[in-house]
Amino acid sequence: MKELYHWIDGKEVKGTSGRFADVYNPATGEVQAKVPLASDAEMNAAIASAAKAQVAWGATNPQRRARVMMRFVDLINRDMDQLAEVLSSEHGKTFPDAKGDVQRGLEVIEFSIGAPHLLKGEFTDSAGPGIDIFSMRQPLGVVAGITPFNFPAMIPLWKMGPALVCGNAVILKPSERDPSVPLMLAKLLQEAGLPDGVLQVINGDKGAVDAILHSPVIQAVGFVGSTPIAQYIYEEAARTGKRAQCFGGAKNHMIIMPDADLDQAADALVGAGYGAAGERCMAISVAVPVGEKTADALIERLVPRIEKLKVGPYTAGDDVDYGPVVTKAAKENILRLVQSGVDQGAELVVDGRDFSLQGYEDGFFVGPHLFDRVTPDMDIYKTEIFGPVLSTVRAKTYEEALDLAMSHEYGNGTAIFTRDGDTARDFASRINIGMVGINVPIPVPLAYHTFGGWKKSGFGDLNQHGPDAFRFYTRTKTVTARWPSGIKEGGEFNFKAMD
């Protein structure tokens, strides 16, 4: 059995706590490795080491820090296929989807190369007689990232790239379900020239999270995961005086207007609803067609597309549409919620409950499901299912559809499909959701914009990546300077009588 490790001071370090978590191959259901779960002592030692290494790294000029990121980009591209294959084997994503996971993280590293410009302060000349005022952006010190299982490359890269290039040391606690890729990335950063100790990758569970939250050394915490944990981390960080950006669950609605291209909308829904087995916070899980005629026509188009989806392991080739979910517990929870939808009166149009894949009967595969005539009081509407399940809620009018999305407790992403510019502009202006797509089903912003949800999808004032990341991982120091006049006249060589 393969035993994983922590990454401390630039070295592989075996766990000493005696506690381990199983790392599965989701396609077969077999345990392929065990990962150590850090003790408080291990975590505190790593934090102390990071604090020591940060001093010199923070004093390194931004251009030299950016050069490390330049080399890191080259190394990720060199090892892209290897990273994607390991990611697929632990998470279950298809190989193309795994490469996309790495690629979207890589784009944030590319943006971070612009640190010399993004870290520039402000300057005011002659704010008063002989007075200048200028500001500096300086690193916080030691910061932490707590990242989820569903994007084991992208989210760690979103956290570590901006934080490191701003001059901080980073404690990264990846998901214990698929920890190998973050450990591989740490080695690539060392190869790129990152000094030992500036990045520590510590595997753990809630105990490790609490050690991060209670450490007086750590100045900021970035988290992505479920809403209850996001809120817990945000509240604990506030209590201990840390900055926090915590992103939680989602229930993303896609509104389909009567004038929309329904074939385009159906294709978009299938990709956004079932890609990555629905295990992503930007998945579309609720379709909201406006009008009965629109709804009937949409369902008619969705059913054959969904029934043709190919579900299988990443080793089956690039034409696989999605793979297994991450654990047996996740599969059981999805099927429990599907059954609740049936029990509460929703119409299960495509039923994937009996899905089984020959040769992979012990894998964590879930067939695709499509519900129609879902109502807002049902559990499948209120809860983030995080699986290949699409719910259809029929709306009579645009205003009713808009209210559905605005009334839901989550506000991560949303989309509208329409040919009418006025409707699209009204939707974008009024909707109380952080990321909006107009004829775009998964509106994930590019690296030079920011990513973040509203309502119970996001806790904290600043978003991930883009300019917000540089604001989050630095603090501003403002200097007011005045120099006495007369020095510029130079020295005097004549004897000056005493007054």
Q: What is the pLDDT of residues 252-270, one digit of tens each?
A: 999 999 999 999 999 999 9
Two structure tokens written together for 213: 């939250």
Cα separation, 232 vs 47, in Å, equals 21
Q: Please give the CATH topology (third level) of the domain spanning 2-248+457-481.
A: Aldehyde Dehydrogenase; Chain A, domain 1 (3.40.605)
pLDDT at 487: 57
Query: Percentage of residues in the chain with pLDDT exceeding 70?
Result: 97
Cα separation, 53 vs 199, in Å, equals 9
Contact 440, 424 (CB under 8 A): no
pLDDT at 346: 98
* pLDDT tens string 369-414: 999 999 999 999 999 999 999 999 999 999 999 999 999 999 999 9
Location of structure tokens 């879930």: 366
Catalytic residue set: 281
- Residue 39's nearest CA partner among 203, 170, 229, 186 is 203
- CATH 3.40.605.10 residue ranges in the chain? 2-248+457-481
Contact 50, 167 (CB under 8 A): no
Location of structure tokens 């009937």: 296
- 72 C-beta neighbours (distance < 10 Å), count: 28
Q: Please give the CATH topology (third level) of the domain spanning 252-438.
A: Aldehyde Dehydrogenase; Chain A, domain 2 (3.40.309)
- CATH 3.40.309.10 residue ranges in the chain? 252-438
pLDDT tier for residue 491 given thresholds of 50, 70 and 90: low
pLDDT at 498: 46
* pLDDT tens string 307-329: 999 999 999 988 999 999 999 99
- 214 C-beta neighbours (distance < 10 Å), count: 14
Cα separation, 306 vs 272, in Å, equals 12
Calculate helix-pair angle for 62-78, 154-165, nearest 10 degrees. 160
pLDDT tier for residue 169 given thresholds of 50, 70 and 90: very high
Q: In this structure, what DSSP letter does residue 410 have?
A: E
pLDDT tier for residue 127 given thresholds of 50, 70 and 90: confident
In the predicted model, is pLDDT for residue 494 greater than 70? Answer: no
The mean pLDDT of 219-248, rounded to a whole number, is: 96
- Cα torsion through 203, 207, 213, 218, rounded to 10: -40
- Residue 149's nearest CA partner among 87, 66, 68 is 87
The mean pLDDT of 224-239, rounded to a whole number, is: 96
Task: Give the bridge partners for 476, in sequence order.
Answer: 137
433: left (phi over 0), alpha (psi -120 to 50) or beta: beta
pLDDT tier for residue 499 given thresholds of 50, 70 and 90: very low
Q: What is the chain's percent helix, strand, coil content, to nearest 5?
A: 40, 25, 35
Mean pLDDT of the chain, nearest integer: 95
The helix/strand/coil state of 26 is coil
The mean pLDDT of 161-168, rounded to a whole number, is: 98
In the predicted model, is pLDDT for residue 490 greater than 90? Answer: no
* pLDDT tens string 272-314: 999 999 999 999 999 999 999 999 999 999 999 999 999 999 9
In the predicted model, is pLDDT for residue 484 greater than 80? Answer: no
Residues 6+ apart with CB under 8 A from 332: none
Q: In this structure, what DSSP letter does residue 331 have?
A: H
Q: For 119-151, b where at least 16 C-beta lie within 10 A, e where not — what string? A: beeeeeeeeeeeeeeeeebbbbbbbbbbbbbbb
* pLDDT tens string 348-374: 999 999 999 999 999 999 999 999 999
Two structure tokens written together for 99: 């490469």
